[in-house]
Amino acid sequence: MKNNLLLALIIYGLIILGLDSRNGEFLALAIPVMVYLAAGLLYEPQSPRLKIDRSFSAGRVIPGQAVTVTLSVTNQGPTLEEAYLVDTVPPSLKVLRGKTNLLTTLHPDQTITLEYTVEGKRGLYRFLNVSVITRDYLGLFEKRAILSAPNQFMVLPEIVRVKQVAIRPPQTGVYSGLIPARQGGPGIEFFGVREYQPGDPLRWINERASARYQQTLFVNEFEQERVVDVGLILDARRQSDARCGQESLFEYSIQAAATLADTFLDGGNRVGLFIYGRSLNWIFSGYGKVQRERIIRALAQAQQGDGKVFERLEHLPTRLFPVRSQLVLISPLLSEDSDMLIKLRARGYRLLVISPDPVAFERKGLAQSAAINLASQIARVERKMLLTRLREAEIQVVDWPVDTPFYQIARAALSRLPFRR
């Protein structure tokens, strides 16, 4: 029951008793309660007129880095005797220091600051509202309001440094880059020998070859290095994910995707990102820092989905990717995915699959028992068969046991050019 209603009922009760017994002493007992209620009415709070500004110590942080949230509240109305402010913190954030609520008196034009520190996992964190309850000192009457104080910060996915990811798609771009283009011209790596043409630099002349023929000069040709189109496909299907306690394999996929996007963009390549699993989440191909920002933002917000349409890779919209370009799929892989990947390879795409190992990841969270060991062995054999099938179709597959840092795997498996056909 509301406090003020309770007091009103007590007053009523005492007055009725006084009238019934015609005893004024009952009425005298009601007087302190009346005074108390009257004081509440007299100082009844008005609707709060507050200006709230929210700021963060950083708008973009890496996982594990704390962010200090500062709420600056200015009272633009009359005195608020008792103001109770509660900031609505996104549930997945952990408050490390400070409090998200405040009980205070706010005088006109007074500004108070509420500060607390939070930490969160990868994601975009939107802060929207602050709840305000104002009361008189006696707490009899209150006004509630929800005030808007929007702002957001982002916990970016972890990016590890990888020097080079060697890829060799059949189709290259027109601009010079770092990817061998299978075409002779200016470059570093020896490509072949051809007859001298006017305009060729003299230092290109191959003296040994030229010495064998009279009146004919031969020059060395180098392999041109160009930029390429890279389509990153991140598997966000819930059914392909594996969990071990609070940990999800998807977070490793995100880390790999962010690292690869960063590395490819650093090499001047045109990179697009398709997040497959929840909706058609496609970041159009682009170059440079702006594109890097777009991709990192998309990865920071990436969530898993379990849409029927995206259950299998069959519905991968391949038209988004230029023909004969390089595709990089980051996925733990499901057994039925191999058919679509082989089809993609057959259409001329160069495919690189980074596959965080779900068997090893899930196994470490399970108890030791004969049945689990057997199931684990079967799963391992199945996965080995799947990867072998993909490799036989000339798909470059990197099996990544996530206990090993990605940069180590990348250095071992991706620093050299794959088999050339």
Partner 1 sequence: MKNFAMIGIMFATLVLALGYALGDQWVLASIVTGLGFLWLAGVWHNWDWATSIGLVAFIGLAALGVRLELSAVWMLFGVVASLAAWDLVRFWRRVAHTKLSGQEPSLQHPHFQRLLMVSGLGLLLGGAALSLQINLNFGWAVLLGLLMTISLSWVVGSIRRGGE
- Provide the binding-site residues for partner 1, judged by CB under 8 A: 1-6, 8, 10-15, 17, 19, 21, 23-29, 31-37, 39, 41, 43-44, 81-82, 84, 99, 101-105, 135, 137-139, 141-143
User: Residue 103 Cβ, how far from partner 1 at the closest point, in Å?
Assistant: 4
Give residue 180's Cα distance to chain centre: 32
Q: How far is the CB of 104 from partner 1 (least distance, A)?
A: 6
Measured from the CB atom, is 12 or 213 closer to partner 1? 12
Q: Is the Cβ–Cβ distance between 414 and 165 less than 8 Å?
A: yes
Query: Which residue's CB is nearer to partner 1, number 14 or number 341?
Result: 14
Phi, psi of 23 (to 5 degrees): -120, 115
| Contact (CB, 8 A) for 370 and 376 | no
- In angstroms, give the least distance from the CB of 110 to partner 1: 11
- Show Cβ contacts of residue 254 under 8 Å, excluding neighbours closer than 6 positions: 122, 157, 234, 299, 302
Helix intervals (H) in 322-417: 337-346, 358-363, 370-392, 406-414
Q: Least distance in Å: CB of 130 to partner 1?
A: 14
The residue written with tokens 């990153």 in the block is 232
According to DSSP, residue 305 is labeled B
Q: How far is the CB of 143 from partner 1 (least distance, A)?
A: 8
Terminal alpha carbon distance of the chain: 81
| CB of 22 or CB of 203, closer to partner 1 | 22
Q: Which is nearer to partner 1, 17 or 193 (CB)?
A: 17
> Strand 218-226 vs strand 247-248: parallel, antiparallel, or unpaired?
unpaired
Closest CB 51 distance from partner 1, rounded Å: 21
Q: Which is nearer to partner 1, 143 or 389 (CB)?
A: 143
Whose Cβ is closer to partner 1: residue 10's or residue 160's?
10
State the Cα angle at 71 between 68 and 76, rounded to 5°.
170
> C-alpha 319: how far from its chain's center?
25
What's the length of the chain?
421
249 Cβ contact partners less than 8 Å away, ≥ 6 residues apart: 241, 242, 243, 332, 356, 358, 361, 402
3-state secondary structure of 147: strand
Cβ-based nearer residue to partner 1, 41 or 146: 41
CB of 5 to partner 1, least distance (A): 6
350-356 and 396-400 beta bridge pairing: parallel
Instruction: State the nearest-atom distance from the C-beta of 15 to partner 1, in Å.
Output: 6
